[in-house]
Each structure stands twice: as C-alpha cells, then as structure tokens.
Amino acid sequence: MRNKSVVTESKQIQLAIELVNLGARLQVLEAETNLSRERLLNLYKEVKGVSPPKGMLPFSTDWFMSWQPNIHSSLFIDIYRYLGKNAGLSGIEAIVKAYRLYLEHVEVNNLESVLSLTRAWSLIRFLDAKMLTTVPCTECGGYFVVHAMDLHRGYVCGLCHVPSRAGKTRQAAAAAAVSAGAALKLPAPALIGSKLRVAAARVS
C-alpha cells in the first residue's frame, strides 16, 4: 500500500510539473491533482522561479467567440476529440496531449499560440458544462465552438464569412490552422484548412 501511494504521488507531481511547464495557472493544478495548495505553490515556484499569478481565472465563454480564438479553439477541440476517439485518451491526459500537438504545429510554423493551456482546459470545462458546444458550418462542414444557448440554424463560421476587422492576424491564424489540419489529417481541420487557404488568398 505504501509503495502504491508513493507511485501515485510521484505521478501527481509529474503531472503538476508538466502542467506548470505548459503554462497552467494554479487553479488548473488544484483541480487536476490531489496535492495540497502549499505543495503546489512550492512546486510552481521551483519550476518557474516565480510565484503563480494571484486571483481568479479571468476567462469567460465570450473569449472563445472572438474571431482568431474561435478558430484556434475549434482546432484544439478537433485534436482533443480525435485523441479521445482514436487513442482512447480522456481528461487531463487528453488535454495535455492535444495541447502539445496544437503547440507543436503553431511553433513549427513560427506562429503565435493564441490558446493558452489554461484556456484550453477552461474550454473543455465549458463544453462539459454544456455552456459551449460545437456546430457544423453550413458552408464548409467544419465544427466550430459556439454558445450552447444560442440559435445555430444556418450557422456560418468565421472562415467562410471573415469579418473585415479580422485584419492581418487572419493570415497567421490561417497558416496555423492549415498546418494543424494537414499534419493531423483530420476531416474537420483539413476542411477548415482548405477554407483558410481560400481566405488567405483573398487577403493577399
């Protein structure tokens, strides 16, 4: 029994370190491990060299609705669901693996990672709580994050209907989405990717 608890604790510490390295806020560590707040605080300081930011998580569901965050969030969900369906992953393990894949493609293409790990984690919680959901775009068929309580008949995504104020960031978002979709060979991101190429071509 004693051995088992040591192994369990060691796994919890490893997970906490991994989450801190990926930029998780303290609230995420508290929710996903059984370690005490004091231990997590010390661990955070040891890994990061600074104390964690104080206060509540500032994130509301509205953030996921703005143009670029919505595309990155929708892609993250696609990766997350793909891992759940094909690799049998769930919970924090699926979030961490999906987030690493998301980051990898953003970094390889030297682009800005719009979605932080804490936001990705919040996104899954909002989906689980049925505050957010995904619906297919009636034009491209890709699945996008939406407010669960809104009406979605005839939904058209932000790629098929690019807002004019999306500005120059849309090309970066487009490239990130294309690379993520292409590398993973998922139906939805691939579809989103092809749409983004069209959107990027219109811009240039």
Binding segment toward Zn ion, per CB under 5 A, in 16-24, 32-40, 103-111, 151-159: 151-159
Q: Which is nearer to Zn ion, 53 or 154 (CB)?
A: 154
Does the footprint of Zn ion cover residue 24 (CB under 5 A)? no
Separation of alpha carbons 196 and 190, rounded Å: 10
**How many chain residues interact with Zn ion (CB under 5 A)?**
5
Binding segment toward Zn ion, per CB under 5 A, in 82-90, 118-126, 129-137, 183-191: 129-137
Does the footprint of Zn ion cover residue 160 (CB under 5 A)? yes
Binding segment toward Zn ion, per CB under 5 A, in 34-42, 65-73, 82-90, 135-143: 135-143
Max CA separation in the chain (angstroms): 64
Among 139, 183, 194, 197, binds Zn ion (CB under 5 A): 139
Which of 163, 123, 167 lies closest to 145, judged by CA? Answer: 123
Yes or no: say if 145 and 174 are a contact pair by the CB < 8 Å rule.
Answer: no
What DSSP line would sit under 94-121, residue for residue?
HHHHHHHHHHHHHHHTT----S-HHHHH
Does the footprint of Zn ion cover residue 137 (CB under 5 A)? yes
Does the footprint of Zn ion cover residue 140 (CB under 5 A)? yes
Amino acid identity, position 97: K
Separation of alpha carbons 40 and 34, rounded Å: 10
Q: Which is nearer to Zn ion, 8 or 138 (CB)?
A: 138
Q: Which residues bind Zn ion (CB under 5 A)?
A: 137, 139-140, 157, 160
